[in-house]
Amino acid sequence: MTSAAQLFGINLVAMVTPMNPDGSISDPGVTSLVDQLLATGCDGLVVAGTTGESPTLADAETIYLIRTVATRASGRARVIAGVGTYDTAASIRRAQEAEAAGADALLLVTPYYSKPTQAGVIAHCLAVADATDLPVMLYDVPHRTGLAMDPATLIELATHPRIRAVKDAKGDLAEAMTVMAGTSLAYYCGIDDLNLPYLAAGATGVVSVIGNLYADHNAALIHAIHTGDLDTARSIHRSLIPSTAALTGTSQGATMTKAALAELGVIPHATPRLPLLESPPPHLPGEPPTS
């Protein structure tokens, strides 16, 4: 069976969606960001996720973005498309369109706002997983959706042949280790503050917001864990704490990351879409060690 690392990558970045001042998608920004991420060691590009401002993207924009990123990456990284909504039929349609647009895998968030039962979550995820031939990464992020996936739900969903991974933004490491021990699901840490402990506990990789700027340092962290060099892993992780706090702890990660990328000249503008507001360039204390 193909491994999760082959299906999704290991050093994944939750890409921002570069936009022009009028709110339209910035083609130069998208291609420049993809080039930057590939050059700094990213092997998985998560498109139209939370950091990509997915709730404000029209269906046609999402598909255009997936196609643009897939074309630019040209097989050099896996493209994982965010397709989850609170509407199962809409999520199925997005999944099928993402597959046609060149996505390699799907990111499926728990239905938000409607807050179904766990049985409803299972039915929703199975319906989307059955709709395409693409592997699925579940996205457990209850602080945004208002609904967590219970361990029993994850264990049941793991029996589906295309549901292969979890992006864990819940932060319950004990639960994650229990599910990892009882299933074949690959775990990806979705909280940059916890990348080190999740990787040390057996996570396959990360889906990182700070990776938009520090994918090379995440790559070094993952390598250090996989080779058993915990001292180096701790050093890298600690060096990233100030930047992680600046990017994700002071405002929305999408707006702060865009501000930093614009300041560095990677993308031309820091514009988000309302209701998010543009942030001033973040102060990133210190400089992570070279890897």
Catalytic residues: 139, 167
Token pair for residue 102? Answer: 């060149």
Q: How many CB atoms lie within 10 A of CB 85?
A: 23
Question: What length is written for the chain?
Answer: 291
For 44, 52, 189, 252, the CA distances from 273, given in Å and listed in that order, are: 25, 10, 26, 12
* DSSP symbols for 27-70: HHHHHHHHHHHHHTT--EEEESSTTTTGGG--HHHHHHHHHHHH
* DSSP symbols for 58-70: -HHHHHHHHHHHH
Q: Burial letters for 91-107: b for 16+ Cβ neighbours within 10 Å, e otherwise?
A: bbbbbebbbebbbbbbb
14 - beta bridge partners? 46
Closest CA to 138 of 82, 95, 68, 206: 82
Within 8 A by CB and 6+ apart from 281, the residues are 259, 260, 262, 263, 270
